[in-house]
């Protein structure tokens, strides 16, 4: 029996597997596809995901293959520059195709000892008090103590659990693909600029070697979105919208996506969890879906590892839904708002013009970018200091950078007083004294995901908080 079976080797499943292996959890990843996908839907990582990679010592390899950009336009495509002084040491978008992100996360998970089995489609699921059994399409059965469905928007795990997925169906559909274009760059630039005055779901981004990433609105909503469009369909839509098909030929891959917006009602049913697109889908506006999935995995990984190790306090596994469900609800809402703002209806255009004026205020721009980049996420840990429930940014410590101290995924007490002790939790929580001039509170307790679990200076208060996140003391 495995400790954990992760269904799906997309970014969410891979991130989760890496997190679980960090704590020695025996994890098996299953994916129905025989080969990794060649398609790249997502094009980048936002600040919080970049920070997550830094917290696990993975950022260097992402920086090597990505491009750091500080562009604006992330909220509904509003042309506004990236705000200055974002509260992070990583104030940029990391442009990196999803395919590369998946490759790097696969490498990391494999280096950490994860077994990934491809060509294994999960078609059945049952659980009892002690374990979960998954059934594969070829009839094989596998057991684990926990299962996590990271199997994308059409999640079989979610359906097998009978978890409701309420929301709105797709009303518009967009074609997306990579192909060669023969048109001259001047023509492409001029036509694209003209079309985008009224149609923001249109573009041709050069990828090098004459290959472009092209998006264009589909005619209707396909009954079966899993079926890829043909090149002819793509060219016909380009002609309909832009008056030319730019001489499109030699497609690398073609796909379609909708604007359905849905969220799983529950992220946990006993021993089975949902994460990433399996738990929430929304239009790609603002580029948030992959990021959200990575951050779901980052929240769930250490908690599941604690349960496997036997020290998870009461309620820790339930805190996954409690913390992550509201975050995705907010993302769904901001994508709904962005879609409205991108509508060509006169009323929506008027609201867009008004918002374009408002983002000129630095606070408004900052508020929206902090939302898209997920650095303003605050989990509800009750009343307390402004830092409580937020992730701690990457401080410059006297002993190096904060995130460098977090590679092993343990708790961390940052203690400016020098008087505190983590007592019987030293096997799960590190203790750093004389921390940093950047930290303007006496002490903070960080969870393995870097969120602030306690702020204070009183030893008894600290000892009262440690069990909430780290279980019973040892020794």
Cα separation, 384 vs 50, whole angstroms: 27
Given the complex with ligand FAD, which of 18 and 44 has the nearer CB atom?
44
Provide, rounded to whole angstroms, the least separation between the CB of residue 207 and ligand FAD.
14
Nearer to ligand FAD by C-beta: 8 or 411? 8
Applying CB under 6 A, does 293 fall inside the site for ligand FAD?
A: yes
* Residue selected from 3, 4, 5, 12 as contacting ligand FAD according to rule CB under 6 A: 12
Q: Where are the beta strands (DSSP E) in 92-164?
A: 93-95, 115-118, 122-127, 132-136, 141-149
Stretch near ligand FAD under the rule CB under 6 A, chosen from 289-297, 319-327, 349-357, 418-426: 289-297
- Binding ligand FAD by CB under 6 A: which of 234, 257, 267, 469? 257
H/E stretch holding 51: helix 47-55
Number of residues that bind ligand FAD (CB under 6 A): 33
Contact code string over 133-172 relative to ligand FAD, x by CB under 6 A: -----------------xxx---x----------------
Pick the binder of ligand FAD from 5, 6, 10, 414 (CB under 6 A): 10
CB of 365 to ligand FAD, least distance (A): 20
* Cα 61 to chain centroid, rounded: 18
Pick from 51, 277, 394, 449: which binds ligand FAD (CB under 6 A)? Answer: 277
Applying CB under 6 A, which part among 11-19, 188-196, 314-322, 463-471 lies near ligand FAD?
11-19
Q: Provide the H-helix boundaries in 342-444.
A: 346-358, 362-372
Task: Give the pairing of strands 173-180 and 249-258.
Answer: antiparallel
Residue 444: beta bridge partners?
A: 414, 455
Taking alpha carbons only, the member of 416, 394, 415 closest to residue 405 is 394
Cα gap 285→422, rounded to integer Å: 43
Nearer Cβ to ligand FAD (157/307) = 157
Selection from 393, 352, 385, 463 nearest residue 55 by Cα = 393
Q: Based on C-alpha coordinates, what's the Rg of the chain?
A: 23
What is the footprint of ligand FAD within residues 18-77 (CB under 6 A)?
Answer: 30-33, 41-44
First to last CA, the chain: 30
286: alpha, beta or left, given left = phi > 0 and alpha = psi -120 to 50?
left
Instruction: Work out whether 9 is an interface residue with ligand FAD (CB under 6 A).
Output: yes
Give the contacts of 327 (CB within 8 A, at least 6 positions apart): 292, 295, 374, 377
x/- site string to ligand FAD, residues 100 to 129, per CB under 6 A?
Answer: ---------------------xx-------
Residue span binding ligand FAD (CB under 6 A) among the ranges 5-13, 52-60, 239-247, 301-309: 5-13
Binding track over 175-194 against ligand FAD, x by CB under 6 A: -x------------------
Residue 331 lies near ligand FAD (rule: CB under 6 A): no
Among 112, 290, 331, 392, binds ligand FAD (CB under 6 A): 290
Contact call for residue 98 and ligand FAD (CB under 6 A) = yes
Among residues 404, 271, 286, 408, the alpha carbon closest in space to that of 337 is found at: 286
Shortest distance (Å) from residue 350 CB to ligand FAD: 28
Tokens for 306, please give them.
Answer: 């604690």
Q: What's the burial of 267, exposed, middle or buried (CB within 10 Å: 0-12/13-18/19+)?
A: buried
On the CB side of 100, CA atoms within 13 Å amount to: 14
Q: Which of 8, 409, 411, 456 binds ligand FAD (CB under 6 A)?
A: 8
- Residue among 66 and 289 whose Cβ is closer to ligand FAD: 289
Q: Could you list the residues that contact ligand FAD (CB under 6 A)?
A: 7-13, 30-33, 41-44, 98, 121-122, 150-152, 156, 176, 257, 276-277, 284, 287-291, 293
């Amino acid at each position: 029996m495995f400790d954990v079976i992760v269904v799906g080797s997309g970014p969410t499943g891979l991130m989760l597997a890496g997190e679980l292996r960090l704590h020695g959890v025996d994890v098996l990843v299953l994916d129905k596809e025989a080969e990794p996908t060649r398609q790249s839907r997502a094009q980048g990582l936002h600040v919080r995901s970049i920070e997550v990679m830094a917290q696990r010592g993975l950022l260097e390899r992402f920086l090597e293959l990505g491009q750091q950009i500080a562009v604006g336009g992330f909220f509904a495509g509003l042309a506004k520059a990236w705000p200055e002084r974002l509260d992070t040491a990583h104030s940029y978008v990391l442009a990196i195709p999803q395919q590369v992100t998946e490759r790097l996360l696969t490498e990391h998970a494999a280096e950490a000892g994860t077994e990934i089995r491809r060509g294994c489609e999960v078609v059945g699921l049952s659980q009892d008090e002690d374990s979960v059994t998954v059934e594969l399409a070829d009839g094989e059965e596998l057991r684990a103590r926990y299962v996590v469905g990271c199997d994308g928007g059409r999640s079989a795990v979610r359906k097998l659990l009978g978890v409701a997925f309420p929301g709105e169906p797709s009303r518009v559909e967009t074609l997306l693909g990579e192909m060669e274009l023969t048109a001259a760059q001047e023509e492409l630039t001029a036509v694209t600029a003209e079309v985008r005055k009224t149609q923001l779901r249109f573009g041709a981004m050069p990828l090098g070697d004459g290959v472009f990433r092209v998006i264009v609105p589909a005619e209707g909503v396909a009954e079966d979105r899993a079926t890829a469009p043909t090149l002819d369909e793509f060219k016909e839509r380009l002609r309909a919208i832009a008056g030319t098909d730019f001489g499109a030929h030699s497609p690398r891959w073609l796909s379609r996506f909708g604007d359905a917006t849905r969220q799983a009602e529950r992220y946990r049913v006993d021993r089975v969890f949902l994460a990433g697109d399996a738990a929430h889908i929304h239009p790609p506006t603002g580029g948030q879906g992959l990021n959200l999935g990575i951050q779901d995995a980052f929240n769930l990984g250490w908690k599941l590892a604690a349960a496997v190790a036997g020290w998870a306090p009461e309620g820790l596994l339930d805190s996954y839904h409690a913390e992550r469900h509201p975050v995705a609800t907010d993302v769904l809402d901001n994508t709904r708002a962005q879609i409205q703002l991108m509508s060509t209806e006169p009323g929506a255009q008027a609201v867009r013009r008004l918002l374009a004026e408002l983002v000129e205020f630095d606070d408004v721009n900052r508020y929206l970018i902090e939302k898209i980049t997920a650095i303003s996420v605050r989990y509800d840990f009750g009343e307390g200091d402004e830092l409580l429930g937020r992730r701690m940014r990457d401080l410059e410590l006297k002993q190096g950078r904060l995130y460098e101290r977090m590679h092993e995924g343990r708790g961390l007490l940052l203690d400016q007083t020098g008087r505190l002790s983590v007592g019987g939790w030293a096997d799960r929580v590190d203790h750093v004294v004389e921390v940093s001039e950047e930290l303007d509170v006496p002490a903070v307790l960080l969870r393995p995901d870097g969120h602030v679990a306690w702020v204070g200076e009183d030893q008894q208060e600290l000892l009262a908080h440690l069990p909430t996140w780290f279980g019973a003391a040892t020794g």
